[in-house]
């Protein structure tokens, strides 16, 4: 799987069912392992109102599907 395969997938919290945002980037170790995903969430009309960035550690990811990534934020 490539990082480009993860980008723009919806990220959903399995406990709340709410969309957290979309993958825009990743933190990768020198040996090529993904440590964190950077998630971006646009809020408001045309993202003028507010935008949030958050990171999700790799161990919070429960399932990667074709359109969605399920996470457990604890």
pLDDT band, very low/low/confident/very high, at 42 (cuts 50, 70, 90) = low
Domain ranges of the chain: 3-71
Q: Is the pTM of this model over 0.85?
A: no
pLDDT band, very low/low/confident/very high, at 50 (cuts 50, 70, 90) = low
CATH 2.30.30.240 fits 3-71, yes or no: yes
Q: How many Cβ atoms are within 10 Å of 47's Cβ, its own excluded?
A: 11
What mean pLDDT do residues 28-48 have? 79
pLDDT tens digits, one per residue of 21-33: 999 889 999 998 9
CA dist., res. 26 & res. 61, Å (int): 13
- Furthest-apart CA pair in the chain: how many Å? 40
What lies within 8 Å, CB to CB, of 12 at 6+ separation is: 18, 19, 20, 68, 69, 70, 71
Residue 17 tokens, joined:
């069912």
């Amino acid at each position: 799987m490539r990082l480009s395969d993860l980008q723009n997938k919806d990220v959903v919290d399995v406990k709340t069912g709410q969309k957290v945002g979309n993958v825009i980037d990743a933190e990768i170790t020198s040996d090529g392992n993904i440590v964190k995903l950077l998630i971006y969430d646009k809020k408001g009309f045309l993202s003028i109102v507010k935008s949030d960035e958050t990171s999700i550690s790799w161990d919070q990811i429960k399932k990667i599907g074709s359109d969605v990534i399920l996470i457990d934020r604890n």
